[in-house]
């Protein structure tokens, strides 16, 4: 149920709950009417997850899981602003990311892809936006990986994002892709998003963000609601 105090979601910008080319959506997509939230949850005005336990290294995925050396792969900086439906910065909001390593494998028992795990890379991080709504992560560029959705199916390189605005109804889970990735044309998760909104999920390379002789930089703004909102992951 939508809260009348919030700008309505632009559902034309989001993928359908069930998109047959994306096989698992057929199994998990809702087929019955959605159930309205209880009043107490609908009116929740703060994020459900707190920020009290943040560590200074949480936003640096190249260091937050180091055991015996640096993680392998191309270092990148991913930064951007979290904005509300009016283009205003969303301050002090928790941004969480998770991703595969440079070989295209997640640190998860369900991932049995025949690619090496990196003992120095966990693939997860979090931070809080500043007064301009900006977040910043230092990480490793994730690799593509096979996922069995269709013959010779490979996921494009991507990073998952989860974040809240200042209201329970403004949570967003999405994926960030990289410019020029040839796999985007074959990916049903990306292609399942309405064409006019797909580009909102692609980061922009930035030489200004790039750190000389250390890491390439990518800019990725996230809009929580309204006509320019970032498409949600289904």
The Cα 87–Cα 1 span in angstroms is 23
Positions annotated as catalytic residues are: 106, 145, 155, 158, 160
Structure tokens at 115: 């690619």
Strand partners, 135: 80
Contact by Cβ (8 Å): 107, 82: no
Pair 204, 66: CB distance under 8 Å: no
Closest by alpha carbon to 80, among 179, 161, 181, 196?
A: 161
Which tokens hold the place of 93?
């909001």
166 closest CA partner among 86, 57, 99: 86
Please tell me the total number of residues recorded for the chain in this structure.
Answer: 234
Backbone angles phi, psi at 139, to 5 degrees: -150, -170
């Amino acid at each position: 149920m939508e809260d009348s105090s919030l700008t309505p979601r632009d559902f034309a910008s989001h993928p359908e709950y069930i998109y047959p080319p994306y096989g698992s959506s057929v199994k998990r997509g809702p087929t019955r009417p959605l159930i309205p939230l209880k009043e107490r949850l609908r009116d929740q005005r703060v994020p459900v997850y707190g920020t009290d336990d943040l560590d200074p290294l949480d936003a640096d995925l190249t260091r937050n899981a180091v055991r015996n050396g640096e993680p392998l792969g191309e270092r990148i900086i991913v930064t951007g602003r979290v904005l509300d439906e009016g283009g205003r910065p969303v301050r002090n909001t928790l941004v969480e990311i998770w991703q595969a390593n440079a070989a295209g494998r997640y640190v998860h028992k369900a991932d049995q892809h025949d690619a090496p795990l990196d003992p120095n890379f966990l693939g997860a991080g979090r931070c809080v936006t500043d007064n301009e709504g900006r977040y910043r992560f230092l990480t490793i560029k994730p690799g593509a990986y096979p996922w069995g959705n269709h013959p010779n199916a490979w996921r494009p390189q991507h990073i998952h994002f989860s974040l809240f605005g200042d209201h329970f109804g403004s949570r967003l889970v999405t994926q960030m892709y990289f410019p020029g990735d040839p796999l985007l044309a074959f990916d049903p998760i990306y292609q399942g998003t309405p064409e006019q909104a797909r580009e909102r999920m692609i980061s922009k390379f930035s030489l200004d963000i790039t750190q000389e002789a250390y890491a390439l930089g990518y800019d990725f703004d996230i809009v929580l609601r309204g006509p320019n909102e970032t498409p949600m992951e289904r």
